[in-house]
Structure 1
Amino acid sequence: MSKITTVIDIGSNSMRMVVLEKSSRFAFSLINETKSRVKISEGCYENGGNLQEIPMQRAYQSLKSFLNISNALKSRKVLCVATSALRDAPNSKVFLNRVKNDLGLNIKVINGEKESYFGGVATSNLLHDSNFVTLDIGGGSTEFCFVKDKKIIKSISLDIGTVRLKELYFNKNNLEGAKKYILDNLKKVFEQNIEIPTKVVGIGGSIRTLSKMIMDKNIYPLDAIHGFTYDFKKEKKLFENILNADTNDELQALGVKKDRFDTIKEGTFIFKTILDELNIKSVVTSGVGVREGVYLTDLLRNQNHRFPNNFNISVKSLLDRFELNEKQSAYFGNNAKKIFDSLKSLHNLDDKFKELLVVASKLHSIGSSLNFYKKNDNAFEFILNGLNYDFLHTSRVIVAHTIKFSKKSLPKQSDLDEYKELLPNLETMQWLSFMIALNIAINTDFSCPKVEYILDDFILRLELPNSSFLINSHIEKLELPKDLSIEIL
């Protein structure tokens, strides 16, 4: 696979591009993301499904710009797929041939099941959840992908989309007809005799817009859409307010951005109708979809489109790009486990915190790569945004705070207040802070010493292979959790 790959997704409403750079066998990072709301399907559903000249011209010009960006970034591979608008259009070959002849770009028109599958590949690999159904609302169609234990078991596509419903029903103020149309199409989902999860992973611009509005309304502390989760019933009132809004001013007052005025009511109507009918309880927002699914299907073509077990793309990508020394990172990770296990009878923390302590210990030196001075603060801000794949929001925030307070003093409650909604209690964070600080202090001279940890009541005895004034002095300065004391042997 090429080191730098471009993936373009031509949807009915928006055309999107991602440029991804591979850093090791399975790790990659996003280096560009571009979106253009070309609305290629505009007017087609009122004209027998045929693409109209002006929307095709917008799409053609945007593709030229996308390819300019791709070339400037030295991308050596371009994968371009098109979904509902082009697969439904009787005259799609006019556009496809023009793009191929003029721009040298081969567009692959994929069917609905393949589109759904790509969404499933992206979410099952890049979200922490294991059991869910994806719901990808586009301009012309809506895709469902059922995932159980991170394995895709069924992909379904229905001809339900924001642009399609707008032209067929909303422009005629026929909401009852729109609802009946959605429910009639949904029968295909129930006919599959598949157990429907109570959790939906939402894909697409309308769903991300709704999530951002919910985050803003609730003053959510973390500015990250991917992985944001909410209780549908608690937020249903916002859906209803959007549907009852009569003017764009009312939509804007609710928090809808101007570029979403034209489809937000249709998208909300589709989403709410489906969530109600499927009896969905919680919604997880996905920042990834077809584009990432196309990329991962290529990247993991010899792995059944799955990352290896115990592989985390975010951690590996950050280590590939920013770790100072691979041997040191490995040592800090292994030593973190030993420290956590030796103190288990005192802190009584769940093993999930051990995993987060290991991640924090491996990544703490990232701040030094950015700027040695204020390295903990630099790492904190970077981690909040850098651990974007396969991490719960709570996990991301815990790792960032653990690194931020990997110093001699333990955090106070006031240090945690901004993100308290996503953090465990103060005592837990103080234990994590102490354990990472001890881990770093023990390897102050980068000698990777083999240490034995012996807990005797409330005394942690450290057996170091060699005496080191530098290491001893750093350990002696550490603020300890209550009742704990340390002896260096």
Structure 2
Amino acid sequence: MEKKIGVIDIGSNTIRLVIYEWTQSRRNFREIENIKVTASLRSYLNSNQSLSDEGINLLIDTLQGFQMMIRHYELAEVICVATAAIRQSANREEILRILHEKTSFSINLLSEYEEAYYGYLSVIHSTNIKEGITIDMGGASTEITYFHDSKLVHYHSFPFGSLSLKLQFVTGSIPTAEERQQIRQFLLPHFQSLTWLHDKHIPVIAMGGSARNAARIHQNYVKYPLVGMHQYEMSRLELIEVKEMLQDISFTDLQKVEGLSKERSTTILPAFELFNILCNISNATKFVFSLKGLREGILYQKMNDVSGEPLPLAEASIDELMQEFRIASPTVNQFKKLAGLFYSQAASIIGEGTYFNEDDFELLMRGAQTFHLGRYGEEDSSSAAFYLLANRTIMGLSHRERVKLALVASFKGKGTFQKYLHPLKNWFTKEEQRKLCIIGAILKLSNSLNSTQQNIVQDFVITAIENSWNIDIQCQKYFKFEEYQFEKQKKHLEKLLKISIISHFHLN
């Protein structure tokens, strides 16, 4: 039974109500509503570090507005959390009491550890990265963690964020060269003090509004050909290039930059200074944006508490795709059996362990699961399968891995493969492209062996003789339809491997 749950996140820059739909049987959730109010609560702290009456009234009005949406969606459960803006307020107890009286929300004031932990939790449950550094930069605090083998090892919370850096160092709308230097001089000792960050040579995974805007700006800047933000990657050099591009333009032009939210235009440059210092100190291999952050971390913990097990990643996302597009499991199971059998024998001939590896087999299996997705889209099923898989977020798969899956699952022939690959041709070497074509051709040929979906083929044996492969295929029923399709589709693998494939179908 589907259940809806709301999470209210009272941050220093923004206040959000996000509504998720949680299907317990699938052990996952999806966002169905996201309402944001740019409140900049950090700017309402007075000289005594107390949140002013004006700031408290803004909070009350926002939460009362959220209550209307909560009633509309008939939410049985709403989790309300507050972070640094309230945590750093001298009158935080009074704020929580007033908010409860005026709105009836019981607000959980997160500790520094909890805020860092939920960010880490969202990353390990939504990416395939086993070792990394997470950064969740808000308006008034920045949480850093280091995890290894998916286990949290270190965490730290800095009492500054993009908005507080702007308020502390920037007099105008955007920082001058001198003010940027002051920000760097302020930040550097703080990060140098965390020796566990030094020279790690691992990915930095960033979440939050500033990181999201950085990724969006770069996507627009390079005319990125795919849709989707989660696990979007940038090199350290690309991060620097975007920063330098932004700091060399006027504030008026900065507000027009594609991918930059207007409310972030005054805080994005301080944020870039912080990102660059972290990446330099840690010697980051790449800068990765995670669309999943604190709110999702709260839900992942809640779901883990219910299930008692870690959540699956790519497999769960692909299973959801199969259910969404009503792809029958028995058909997929037979396809995986045939593809696995063909692959194992072909790999032993071509060079298992030298040419093919475990990742290739995993890609083949995922390709078999998603091979029929296109049938439920446009008339061109190959095109539909490619664009669906290339542009759909699949938890646990990077954008590059997603494209590899799309290319093998949509394989129609080398010409179509090159057409799909053209905008991404620099992503893969010639040898990688050839291997992807071979895996795609194996999938296409294996699919032909169950073209009537009656599980007719029971077994087959491939024997390599010089430049020919003899395939002896054992069938339990009338096999002429499968034989016809096999003979039609074998040309793709023959061209790629420069062999002749000779089939012998037999009725047991």
- So what's the TM-score if we normalise by structure 1? 0.88
1:240 to 2:250 alignment? no
Structure 1 segments unaligned to the other structure (5+ residues): none
For 1:46 and 1:305, the matched residues in 2 are separated by 46
For 1:366 and 1:64, the matched residues in 2 are separated by 44
Alignment of 1:307-456 (within 5 A): 307=311, 312-344=315-347, 345-346=349-350, 348-368=355-375, 370-371=376-377, 373-405=379-411, 407=412, 411-423=416-428, 425=430, 426-456=433-463
1:182 to 2:187 alignment? yes
Work out whether residues 123 and 288 of structure 1, in 8 Å CA contact, stay in contact via their aligned partners in 2: yes
Q: Cα offset for 1:332?
A: 2.5
For 1:71 and 1:392, the matched residues in 2 are separated by 37
Report which structure shows greater RCO (CA 8 Å, sep ≥6): 1
How many residues were matched structurally? 485
For 2:114 and 2:281, the matched residues in 1 are separated by 24
2:487 alignment partner in structure 1: 476
Letter in 1 for 2:362: E
Bigger CA radius of gyration: 2
- So what's the TM-score if we normalise by structure 2? 0.85
Work out whether residues 342 and 453 of structure 1, in 8 Å CA contact, stay in contact via their aligned partners in 2: no
Q: Cα offset for 1:304?
A: 6.9
Work out whether residues 26 and 299 of structure 1, in 8 Å CA contact, stay in contact via their aligned partners in 2: no
RMSD over aligned Cα atoms = 3.0
Q: Cα offset for 1:450?
A: 4.8
Q: Cα offset for 1:24?
A: 4.7
Alignment of 1:40-439 (within 5 A): 40-171=40-171, 174-190=179-195, 196-250=200-254, 252=256, 256-301=260-305, 306-307=310-311, 312-344=315-347, 345-346=349-350, 348-368=355-375, 370-371=376-377, 373-405=379-411, 407=412, 411-423=416-428, 425=430, 426-439=433-446
Work out whether residues 37 and 62 of structure 2, in 8 Å CA contact, stay in contact via their aligned partners in 1: no
Paired residue secondary structure (2:305): coil
Paired residue secondary structure (2:41): coil
1:460/1:357 CA distance change after superposition, 3 Å: farther
User: Which digits, 9 at most, give the CA deviation of each residue in 1:168-197, with x for residues without a partner?
Assistant: 22238754543343234335522x588744
- Shifted more, 201-210 versus 219-228: the winner is 219-228
Q: Cα offset for 1:103?
A: 3.6
Q: Cα offset for 1:26?
A: 5.2
Q: Cα offset for 1:11?
A: 1.2
For 2:192 and 2:48, the matched residues in 1 are separated by 25
Structure 2 segments unaligned to the other structure (5+ residues): none
Work out whether residues 20 and 31 of structure 1, in 8 Å CA contact, stay in contact via their aligned partners in 2: yes
Q: Cα offset for 1:240?
A: 2.8
Paired residue secondary structure (2:322): helix
Identity between Structure 1 and Structure 2 (%): 20
1:98/1:264 CA distance change after superposition, 3 Å: same
User: Which digits, 9 at most, give the CA deviation of each residue in 1:75-107, with x for residues without a partner?
Assistant: 432222111111111233454344434443222
- Shifted more, 118-127 versus 393-402: the winner is 393-402
Q: Cα offset for 1:466?
A: 2.6
User: Which digits, 9 at most, give the CA deviation of each residue in 1:263-317, with x for residues without a partner?
Assistant: 1122112222333333334211111110110000110126777336x86332232
Q: Cα offset for 1:397?
A: 1.0
